[in-house]
Amino acid sequence: MTAQFNDVFRFQDKDFAVAGISAGELFQPADFGLFPIPASTACWRGYVAVFTISESHLILDALSVNLQETKAPTINGILPEPPASRFKLFNNVYNNLNVRLYYTGGLLLGHDFISELYVHMGFHPAWKYKEVFELFFENGRLTGEFDRSEKAVEIRHAAQESSSAGKPDKMPTKKEISDFVERSFDRTYKKGE
């Protein structure tokens, strides 16, 4: 398995990784007639989305998607473009979509990843970033934003203490490995915690 490409959230003039989602997904590609196939081992979902906020509303701004079909549908009147060099893994790139989304729940956004915490598996959790924000949405409308960077530091310290207190000579069981893999690909979290 491989570390996965994160979705991007443009917030406060920076690109944050979407590191946690409290309730389902922000959108479903199938709702737009898209049925992605894996782009690589680093993107089993077959797509990477870029989100932003406009007039206090959650927006799908861009989407890079790998499709088996040769002709991709329009989204919000936008046709896909050929991939730019950095998105060669995806055969369809949609820009300036301005699609309003109606997600209800929380999001954890991470910026400035701590490279020493890199694990070659799944999505990295919010506590592996120096700057963390939690955003709350109700039917796509932003209802709250909170700086959770200090909480991320606390969780990071607890995780590092826990791993250093483990038994290094003991091999993990198949169940422990399976649980680790499952957690690595799960971006869900409990809103407000």
In a domain, 109, yes or no: no
pTM of the model: 0.80
In a domain, 178, yes or no: no
In a domain, 133, yes or no: no
Kindly report the CA angle at 126 between 120 and 130, in degrees rounded to 5?
100
With the C-alpha atoms ordered 53, 54, 60, 61, is the resulting torsion angle positive or negative? negative
Domains identified in the chain, total number = 1
Residue 129's φ and ψ, nearest 5 degrees, are -115, 150
Quote the domain boundaries for residue 52: 27-100
In a domain, 94, yes or no: yes
In a domain, 119, yes or no: no
In a domain, 150, yes or no: no
Q: Distance between CA atoms of 100 and 5, rounded to whole angstroms?
A: 23
Mean pLDDT by 10 residues, the chain (193 residues): 82 94 91 91 87 97 89 92 72 94 94 73 76 94 92 77 57 48 50 61
In a domain, 148, yes or no: no
In a domain, 84, yes or no: yes
